[in-house]
Amino acid sequence: MDNELAWTPDEVRDVARYQKYLIWLIFFQIISIFLLIATGVGSKASPASKVLATFIPLAIMAARIALSVLSIYGVYKMAKALRNGMALVYAVAMLLPLIGLLALLHINSLATNVLQSNGVRVGVFGADEDDLQFLDAETITL
């Protein structure tokens, strides 16, 4: 990340957009884990409901794989928006369980620092939309 260059309002908006994108993906991944646990509990059921009980966890797993691919893409785009020359390294790190989590936390921390230093409030689900609307056309600095 290049701290010496100024950030344009469009660049700050891009960082905010990708941060919000990643936060929502993480939220949906957590929901999918709970759904998988809830549907994975075995019960005495009819053969017809056993087919459904097999299909639903498979569908949830397919959704989790799609969410993981979208997360890798999001981390890559976030690193690019942050002017980070290691965008590909962050994306590859997402393939490794613990390393990916650490990479995600680090890139999110960098994004939060950029947003806050440019006067944008950041909450649990990302940047405050009202603050992003008031970014003017002038160049802002880090």
Task: Give residue limits of the domains in the chain.
Answer: 9-133
In which element (H, E) is residue 109 found? helix 97-117
- Statement: residue 27 has pLDDT above 70: yes
Within 13 Å, how many C-alpha atoms sit on residue 116's CB side? 9
Paired residues of 140 in beta bridges = 7
Arithmetic mean of pLDDT, 110-118: 92
Q: 3-class SS at 126?
A: strand
Read off the pTM.
Answer: 0.79
Looking at residue 81, its pLDDT comes to 94
Q: What is the pLDDT of residues 45-97, one digit of tens each?
A: 556 567 777 788 888 889 999 999 999 999 999 999 999 899 999 999 999 98
